[in-house]
Structures are given as structure tokens and as C-alpha cells.
Amino acid sequence: MNMNRQIGKWLGLVLIGAALFASGCARQPHGTGDHSATRGSGARSNSHKSTRQTESHEEHKHDAASQQSLVATLYLETSPVSTISGEVTEIRGMLHDTTGQMLNDFEVVHAKKIHLILVRDGLDEFAHLHPSLDVNGTFTVSHTFAKGGTHHVFVDHKPVGKSQATAKGTLTVGGESPDPEPLKPNVPGRAQDGDVLADVSMQLSGASSIVRFALLESSGIPITDLQSYLGARGHLVVIGARAEQYVHAHPLESKRASNVVEFEVHFPEAGVYKLWGQFQRNGEVHTIPAVAEFGREANKH
């Protein structure tokens, strides 16, 4: 199909749109992953409208915030078009590069070509999904939103031969949309998902921070049977309070105890962030949320 017609079709159908990307200070030290997107420019669409303001910027591994380059535009649509909480929604997306060419060739990063993160505005709902990808580059995933309201969509991807990037959009979901609880920092401290507990702590390490999860049984005994999840001992997604900052970090090689997983995170700026550590045991993924405040004085660079 002719590209313009295809775009037209998408624009006609869609919802969505949104904003930004860039990473000012993503770093990838010592081979650990830290995929950041920062600086939301805030172009947010209402439902049933589309916008082309959604952008994706590649990451600059060793660079400061002064550099960013637009690399892709994210288009999203849903079926049904009017998404409502509690009902299965099919989310479809595609990325176009700056010339308007649809991206369809992605490298596998952590076992998947596309990592799609959904968070509700206020960060009280989180999903980490892996859409299927067709030959044209359209990616598709089903999801049931637990609550209505604005949901932020982060598409973490690496076009073949290019830098890893994160594209962001928003989806407006109908249905009950209760006010989220205000974010209350609880790091250092105890967090949990069901019967899996974690002592979460954070310490500065140069321009980055080491975020540590010490995983415990509900009895307080260290967990010793962590399994690899998507090729790593754990994954950490970090999103700024206003959902304008996104970091996806992978574990550091560590000689610490087997229940301790450490992530190197470059917080893009001072502020409150929500963290979701994801770990697998017994074939089940546990998602452990925590809230951390990254200090202003610690962010000098």
C-alpha cells in the first residue's frame, strides 16, 4: 500500500498521540542497560484525535542533555476505537522515521524487539507488554486497562543499526478514573508484590545511582530461586512523577548475594520517580513498585 494512503488511514482511525523523546543523559556504562527518554514536550492529544507530535529521539550514551535527535514518530490506534477500562483492547502502533518511512526492522534487545510500557497518569497502573510485530512494522498487543483516564505509552525499541530509542504516546481510556494516590517516597524501605518482599535502597555512584532490590520471602528469608526474566536477573522501569521521564535499566553484574539485584540508573533530573522492579521465580513475574526521590543537590552534571 502506498505510504501516504497508509498514513492517512491511520490518522483517520486513531486515537492518540503524544510526545517526545530524547534522552539527555542516558548512559550505558559497562554494558549495563539504561535506556532513557526524557524531557517531555507534552504534546498530548485527546482521544479520537491523532497528532503527529509524538516523537522518538535516540539516546546519546555519553552525552549531556544538550543533544537529541528526532528519530521516529509514533502512531497508535486502538480497537475498539473508544477504549474502556475492563474490556480487552487491542493496541496497534507503528513508528516512522524522520523521512516518513515506517520502521519495520528492529533488533532483539532483552529477548524482545519491542517493549511496550503502559502507565496510567499518576503512575498507579503499570504494564510491561511485548507486542507482536508484523512484516510491515505494525506492532499489536492486547491489554485490559484496569482503570480509565490518560495512559502513557512508552515504546522501547532499537531500529537495526541505530541507537536504542523510546517513543512515547498517550491513550485516553474511558470508564472509572479514580484519582491516583499521591506518590510517597518509600526508598529506602520495604516494598512488595504479594508474597515477594524487597528491601529497596539507592545510592549515588558518580553521575548515576545504584538502585538495589534485596528480595525476601514473606517470612523475611532471602529468596534464592530467582529465574532469568527476558535474559536478565531482573528489569527495572523508572518513570518520573509526571511520566515525562523514562528509564529502563538492567542489572549490574554483581557479586552480591543471590537475592540482591542492583541496577544502575541515571536519573535525568531531580524529582520523584516511581520504580517497578520485575523479577521471576517459579515461572511467575513479580512486579514490585517503589517510589524514590532523587535529590536536587545530587544532580550536578
Please choose, out of 41-49, 112-120, 176-184, 220-228, the segment that lies near Cu ion by the rule CB under 5 A.
112-120
Q: Which of 115, 120, 157, 250 binds Cu ion (CB under 5 A)?
A: 115
Q: How far apart are CA 198 and CA 214, in angstroms?
A: 5
Q: How far is the CB of 33 from Cu ion (least distance, A)?
A: 11
Of 2-10, 70-78, 110-118, 174-182, which segment contacts Cu ion by CB under 5 A?
A: 110-118
Q: Which is nearer to Cu ion, 44 or 115 (CB)?
A: 115
Collapsed DSSP state (helix, strand, coil) of residue 8: helix
Q: How far is the CB of 201 from Cu ion (least distance, A)?
A: 24
State the nearest-atom distance from the C-beta of 39 to Cu ion, in Å: 22
Q: Which range touches Cu ion (CB under 5 A), out of 32-40, 97-105, 108-116, 194-202?
A: 108-116
Q: Which is nearer to Cu ion, 115 or 157 (CB)?
A: 115
Residue 249: all three cell numbers together:
535499566
Which one, 263 or 294, has the nearer CB to Cu ion?
A: 263
The cell for 159 is: 531500529
* Shortest CB 116 distance to Cu ion, Å: 8
Residue 276 CB, shortest distance to Cu ion, in Å, is 11
How far, in Å, CA of 152 to CA of 172, rounded?
A: 9
Own/partner long-range contacts of 159-164 (Cβ < 8 Å, ≥24 apart): 159/71, 159/72, 159/95, 159/97, 159/103, 159/105, 159/106, 159/107, 160/105, 160/106, 160/107, 162/58, 162/71, 163/58, 163/59, 163/60, 163/61, 163/71, 164/35, 164/58, 164/59, 164/109
Is the Cβ of residue 115 or residue 286 nearer to Cu ion in the bound state? 115
State in angstroms the smallest separation of the CB of 103 from Cu ion.
Answer: 18
For Cu ion, which stretch binds (CB under 5 A), given 107-115, 166-174, 209-217, 251-259? 107-115
Q: Facing residues of 286 across strands?
A: 279
Across-strand partners of 213?
A: 200, 261
- CA distance linking residue 73 with residue 172, whole number of Å: 19
In the complex with Cu ion, the residue whose CB is nearer, 39 or 157, is 157
- How many residues bind Cu ion (CB under 5 A)? The answer is 1
Position 266 contacts Cu ion (CB under 5 A)? no
Q: How far apart are CA 173 and CA 187, in angstroms?
A: 31
Strand residues in the chain grouped as ranges (E): 34-37, 56-58, 70-79, 88-96, 114-120, 126-129, 132-133, 139-144, 149-157, 165-173, 189-193, 196-205, 208-217, 235-240, 246-249, 260-265, 271-281, 284-294
The residue number whose beta carbon is nearest to Cu ion equals 115
- Annotate each residue in 67-106 with x if it binds Cu ion (CB under 5 A) or - if it does not, as one string: ----------------------------------------
Shortest CB 90 distance to Cu ion, Å: 18
Minimum CB separation of residue 266 from Cu ion in Å reads 19
Q: Which of 96, 248 has the CB closer to Cu ion?
A: 248
What residues line the site for Cu ion (CB under 5 A)? 115
